[in-house]
Structure 1
Amino acid sequence: MTDTATTALGTLRYDLPHPDRFTTEQVGWVPWLEPPAKDDLTERQLTGLDDERRANSPYFRLLARDPELLLNRTRTDKGIFYNEDAGAPRADRELAAAVASRLNGCVFCASVHARFAGKLSRREDDVARLLEEGVEADLGSRWNAVKAAAIALTQTPIALTSAHVEALRAEGFDELSILDVLQGASFFNNANRLMLTLGRAVQPGVELP
């Protein structure tokens, strides 16, 4: 590794300030390992990204080291959060992801999904309460049902019981809607671990190298 690369990685690891709180602001993220440079991505890796805009993200360029796995992961992600032909409103899916991220301590993912949940539902105050108070925050009966299911799945999947499912049904969730909520939480339970293992969040407004 060159001195320049070593210096750059040292900057990424030690010098950039970590966010001091959960927030809906744009949080940065830097990897521990150097991802492929955007201009060095192979055709196979670009195919794995499934969207040229993702080449701007060091996180996705890092995952592009295994392009076939990334392609399947990306399509799963898009299917869970962007397929709105039926099932739960996207705000509920985003809330489930935000709850998992808040519980796991992933400031970056929590910022993204809390921002979407608040904007799409127009319930920014409730989302702010989740970020400030944690998963104990009272979000009202419907979102509390989503929150409880997401917490159970995040802590350990076998903690999810029929009572969580029945609580969602009592709030008007049908089978597809329940599946959307559970998949949103489950997917980001995995995604949080990737983000937290492969790099670290950076305080909003800090210029990234």
Structure 2
Amino acid sequence: MKFTLDRLSWTPWLEPPEEDALTDEQLDALVDRARAASPYFRLLARDPHVLHARTMTDNDIFYNADGGLPRAERELAATATSRHNGCVFCASVHARFAAHYGKRPEDVRRLLDDGVDAPQDERWRAIVDAAVALTATPSALDAEHLAALRRAGLDDLAIADVIHSAAFFNWANRLMLSLGEPE
């Protein structure tokens, strides 16, 4: 399947509970009940405690505006991670957010079409490189990546956001890829 900015669907390999069969505890674990429409979140709702923790972590990484990276660049790190991991579904979701919030759809399209080594400006290059290094193996993220992020103007909170976005989506991609596939 090709990487895209289009909306994709996802099909689980295990049967998730039906929306109307979710318990109050499972619905509460979704945090946003609209997520009950997603087979992925309904599948994760089988373990409501883990789903709740996962969702709160996700929300804090991407929606917490108290310092750090702008939303577009948090989404860029998640897009680069997903592109590197081959998670077409997650790449499409986060690419749309990166393109929208960053107002740079051509740069995001190039990342999807040409891969993580596609040309980017200094700041986006540093973010993509750090996210991909961390995704490959945590020890691949080294002092040179941190120096490049600092040269690109990122402070400690912004660097932490790159790491959080990439690490979370490295885990999320692997979970999603092991439970189903995009359509």
Shorter-chain-normalised TM-score: which range?
A: over 0.9
1:110: which partner in 2? 91
Greater Rg by CA: 1
**TM-score (ref. length: structure 2):** 0.98
1:55: which partner in 2? 36
Counterpart code for 1:151? V
- List structure 1 runs of 4+ shifted beyond 2 angstroms: none
**What do residues 72-104 of structure 1 show as CA deviations (whole Å, max 9, x unaligned)?**
110000000000121100111000000000010
1:16: which partner in 2? none
Q: Does 1:40 align with 2:21?
A: yes
Aligned residues: 183
Counterpart code for 2:76? L
Query: Which consecutive unaligned segments of at least 5 residues does structure 1 have?
Result: 1-19, 203-209
1:79: which partner in 2? 60
Q: Does 1:88 align with 2:69?
A: yes
1:166: which partner in 2? 147
Counterpart code for 1:154? T
Other structure's SS at 1:196 match: helix
Deviation at 1:136, TM superposition (A): 1.0
1:15: which partner in 2? none
1:130: which partner in 2? 111
1:9-20 mapped onto 2 (5 Å cutoff): 20=1
**What do residues 183-206 of structure 1 show as CA deviations (whole Å, max 9, x unaligned)?**
10110000101111100000xxxx
CA distance in 1, matches of 2:40, 2:49: 16
1:64 to 45, 55, 70: 45
2:164: which partner in 1? 183
What is the alpha-carbon root mean square deviation over aligned residues? Answer: 0.7
**TM-score (ref. length: structure 1):** 0.86
Other structure's SS at 2:113 match: helix
Other structure's SS at 1:166 match: helix
CA distance in 1, matches of 2:6, 2:74: 19
**What do residues 19-42 of structure 1 show as CA deviations (whole Å, max 9, x unaligned)?**
x31000001101001101100101
Other structure's SS at 1:55 match: helix
Other structure's SS at 2:65 match: coil
CA distance in 1, matches of 2:32, 2:113: 33
Counterpart code for 2:176? M
Q: Tell me whether 45-54 or 106-115 shows the greater mean CA deviation.
A: 45-54
CA distance in 2, matches of 1:173, 1:182: 12
